Amino acid sequence: MTSPVKLLLIFINQADTWGEQPLDLVIVQRLLKLRIAGATAHTGGPSFGHHMRVHHKGLFGISDDRAVTIMAVDNEAKIRAALPQIRELVREGLILLVDAEVIADVSG
């Protein structure tokens, strides 16, 4: 992969689902099906969003509303082509599209 690329950032909650599946898994699988170059989902620590409520670990370190950030990277045309399907999946959350530069793309 070479520059320029776009970085797609999707912010959702860990409790979000699509049907009976976790939404982050559904989104990553959809991005794979769309042949996006790469995607990763990260479950976060303390965070807050437009509801102005801090998401953090609850009783016994368990929380069902922790933030999840999904990052995907590819060229602009492929990311923009994927956006309608991603927007359909995200009922509540934030989707950002950011310019990015590839510094290294090393595979072993």
Q: What is the pLDDT of residue 65?
A: 73
Q: What is the pLDDT of residue 29?
A: 98
pTM summary value: 0.84
Q: HSE on the CB side for 57, CA within 13 Å?
A: 7
Q: Average of pLDDT values for 23-27?
A: 98
- The SS3 of residue 27 is helix
What are the sequence ranges of the domains in the chain? 5-100
What tens digit of pLDDT does each residue of 44-86 get?
A: 766 666 666 665 555 565 555 788 999 999 999 999 999 999 9
Nearest alpha carbon to residue 19 among 89, 80, 82, 99: 89
Query: 5-100 maps to which CATH number?
Result: 3.30.70.120
